[in-house]
């Protein structure tokens, strides 16, 4: 059977079942974004942006006195044609109160460095921060007694797969 059912929505097993269970909810499937107008970032510039993200994470650790229990630095594919360099750290604390104090110190440090921070409307403490030029972002949250800090570049179109 043709994927475009006689002028109806395309066949998608998950959404077909969703439509069956929720007939009063409209489901619109958008085509994937095309990477067309995003310029390719040269490898040297991508490496520089990644190094800044790693340095920001290192600065957060040092300035906030964090004892890191887990860390990774790597490139991740975020869409068909875009990658971001991600540094993720986890700090395990004895109490949730200490982890919350860490989160506040991280937020204050980033804001003092010129980042814009926005609290997320969630049941757990969580904020997202970004630089004025939008080249880097930080995602900071609590999970129980652990603080998670991610510092990433913006999604970049690269000439070669860095992963």
Asked whether residue 22 falls in the same domain as residue 46, the answer is: no
Asked whether residue 6 falls in the same domain as residue 84, the answer is: no
Asked whether residue 112 falls in the same domain as residue 136, the answer is: yes
What φ, ψ does residue 59 adopt, rounded to 5°?
A: -65, -40
Residue 116 neighbours by CB under 8 Å, 6+ apart:
129, 130, 131, 132
In a domain, 93, yes or no: yes
Asked whether residue 90 falls in the same domain as residue 142, the answer is: yes
Q: What is the DSSP letter of 35?
A: -
Asked whether residue 45 falls in the same domain as residue 18, the answer is: no
In a domain, 35, yes or no: no
Domain that holds residue 22: 1-30
- Residue 132: pLDDT above 90? no
In a domain, 105, yes or no: yes
> What beta strand segments (E) does the chain contain?
40-41, 70-77, 83-92, 116-119, 126-130, 136-143, 146-153, 157-158
Asked whether residue 87 falls in the same domain as residue 54, the answer is: yes
Q: Which of 29-33, 125-129, 131-135, 150-154 has the lowest mean pLDDT?
A: 29-33
Tell how far CA 50 is from the center of its chain.
14
Rounded CA separation 54/155 (Å): 15
In a domain, 163, yes or no: no
- As for how many domains the chain has, the answer is 2
What percentage of the chain carries pLDDT values higher than 70?
A: 85
pTM for this prediction:
0.74
Asked whether residue 104 falls in the same domain as residue 138, the answer is: yes
Q: Identify the bridge partners of residue 138 per DSSP, sorted by sequence position.
A: 129, 151
Query: Is the distance from CB of 40 to CB of 159 less than 8 angstroms?
Result: yes
In the prediction, which pLDDT does 87 show? 96
In the prediction, which pLDDT does 30 show? 64
């Amino acid at each position: 059977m043709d994927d475009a059912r006689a002028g109806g929505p395309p066949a998608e097993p998950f959404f077909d079942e969703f439509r069956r269970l929720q007939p009063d909810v409209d489901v619109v499937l958008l085509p994937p974004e095309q990477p067309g107008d995003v310029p390719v970032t040269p490898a040297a510039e991508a490496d520089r942006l990644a190094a800044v993200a790693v340095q920001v994470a290192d600065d957060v650790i040092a300035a906030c006195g964090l004892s890191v229990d887990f860390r990774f630095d790597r490139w991740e594919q975020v869409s068909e044609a875009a990658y971001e360099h991600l540094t993720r750290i986890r700090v395990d604390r004895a109490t949730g109160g200490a982890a919350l104090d860490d989160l506040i110190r991280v937020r204050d440090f980033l804001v003092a460095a010129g980042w814009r921070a926005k609290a997320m409307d969630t049941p757990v403490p969580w904020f997202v921060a970004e630089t004025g030029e939008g080249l880097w972002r930080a995602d900071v949250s609590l999970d129980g007694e652990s603080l998670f800090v991610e510092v990433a570049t913006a999604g970049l179109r690269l000439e070669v797969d860095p992963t």
